[in-house]
Amino acid sequence: MKYSPFNNLSQKINKKVLFIFLLMPLLFSCNEQTKSASFTRIIERGYVSVGTLFGPNSYYVQADGYAGFEYDLAKKYAEYLNVDLKIVPSYSLDELFFKLNTGEVDFLAAGLSITDKRLSRFRFAPSYEQVSQKLVFKQGKVRPRKLSDLTGKLMVTASSSHVEKLEILKQEHTELNWLETSEFDSEELLLKILNEEIDYTIVDSNALAVNRRYYPEISVGFTIKKAEPLAWMVDKNGDDAILASLIEFFGQVHHNGTLLALDDKYYGHIEQFDYVETRTFIKAVSTKLPKYQPLFEKYAQEIDWRLLAAISYQESHWRPHARSHTGVRGMMMLTLSTAKQMGIKSRLDAEQSIRGGSKYFKRMINKMPDRIPSPDRMWFALASYNVGFGHLNDARIITQQQGGDPDRWVEVKTRLPLLQQKKYYKKTKYGYARGKEPVHYVENIRRYYDTLTWLDAKATEAAEAVVAPEVATPEVVAAEIVESTE
């Protein structure tokens, strides 16, 4: 046969095609193993890889480690499997879904709503929470009460359940328009509203509850979509054993109170929002706190100074000469007998009051049984600081008698108000108490503490971003927030 370069090329191509054809089953097999999460592989390698989003509801870094509702729950799942937890965070939903599709993560734990569109592409573990979608705007602007009132710029997160809902609504409201972004997260969109760069955005109710502590000027226009379930997302073609283990895990945490405790930890104290109170506190951080912060830092010692400051604000709003009708006085509102026990000569002296209050609070902490875990131990100590150790124990006994866990704050706080009912307090050792007060007391302090922690973190970020770090403090950040909303 006469030589032709095309014949030679054809032979080479045929050989390559044959080679690839023979190799395809192996490549496909390897790809499937890489792409699809395997329960057996999780156990063998000793860790579970979980995809999530950066943010206050899912996963974030704080001074003493990692936090976030989704992070804590994923950590419980890893403990349930007796393996380590590997968190793989993302900045966008598209990036998150890609990691699940390519097998980089075993499943997603990121506060994801179960929607029809997502059900066509993924599977879900049992739901653990429900959220609604809220359309928000800046307070002081005209409040939109329905879709036809939206006259400005609406921006939402790309690939979110918010987009899916808007697409459905547009079928009936053809005039509805919006912008989608992968560049900004929900908190940044709220800041854009405050800075008047956009007019509206849509936020899940749980994220709104968290952020309104820091941005009280964010107001709700109306509900775009009523309650919908949140759940962890699993690859549609993944290992059934992973989904089976998640079903069993969620059954367990629902039953043993773990889920209830986590929900209380992150959301239990922020369900009620008070615009005036929140704004007043943020303003006080910038105007009053600088004078007393060194004293809180000095006497807090092993306690977080921000928690001590939060207690003081709840007690006196940082007023050294504060006085109540019950006779408690000073920055930490000490009774005369408590002041004497703590070696305090003048309750009206700010430093002495803070020193005495810190010492007394530490005594309350030390009274708590060692088996009570953190942070419940701290909330019990706060309740005891307010209502007394004896009344707190009465409520814990009632909790146990009713089949609840006396070592969980989320359980005991529902029984404290029973101390105001005769059929309960007549059977207790210490009798009647205004049991609702310590519940409100603890929840208020937790809100103040969270806000101070957030302002402190923002100040640290600002300090790292500027040449002169001394200009960035929690007080400066708080002043900027107040200024931006006036």
Catalytic residues: 315
60 with 66: CB under 8 angstroms? yes
d(CA 189, CA 194): 9
d(CA 482, CA 282): 7
39 with 239: CB under 8 angstroms? yes
What CA–CA distances, in Å, run from 48 to 11, 38, 75, 247, 287? 48, 10, 10, 16, 47
Q: Is 30 exposed, middle or buried (0-12, 13-18, 19+ CB in 10 A)?
A: exposed
Structure-block tokens of residue 229: 């379930």
* CA angle 65–88–73, rounded 5-degree value: 60
The two beta strands, 84-90 and 47-53, are parallel
d(CA 399, CA 385): 20
Residue type for 48, please? V
- Three-state DSSP string of 131-148: EEEEEEEEECECCCCCHH
Structure-block tokens of residue 485: 């909303």
Q: Which residues of 368-390 are buried (b: 16+ CB within 10 A; e: fewer)?
A: beeebeeebbbbbbbbbbbbebe
225 with 164: CB under 8 angstroms? no
d(CA 84, CA 229): 27
Q: Compute, in degrees rounded to 10, the torsion defined by CA atoms 165, 204, 260, 445.
A: -170
d(CA 232, CA 243): 10
Residue type for 221, please? G
What CA–CA distances, in Å, run from 170 to 134, 164, 176, 387? 17, 10, 6, 54
Nearest in space to 438 (alpha carbons), one of 390, 383, 372, 477:
383
Residue in this structure with the two tokens 């005891």, named with its chain if needed: 384
- CA 210, distance to chain mean position in Å, is 7
d(CA 350, CA 414): 34
Sign of CA dihedral 124, 60, 157, 189: positive
d(CA 334, CA 352): 11
324 with 332: CB under 8 angstroms? no
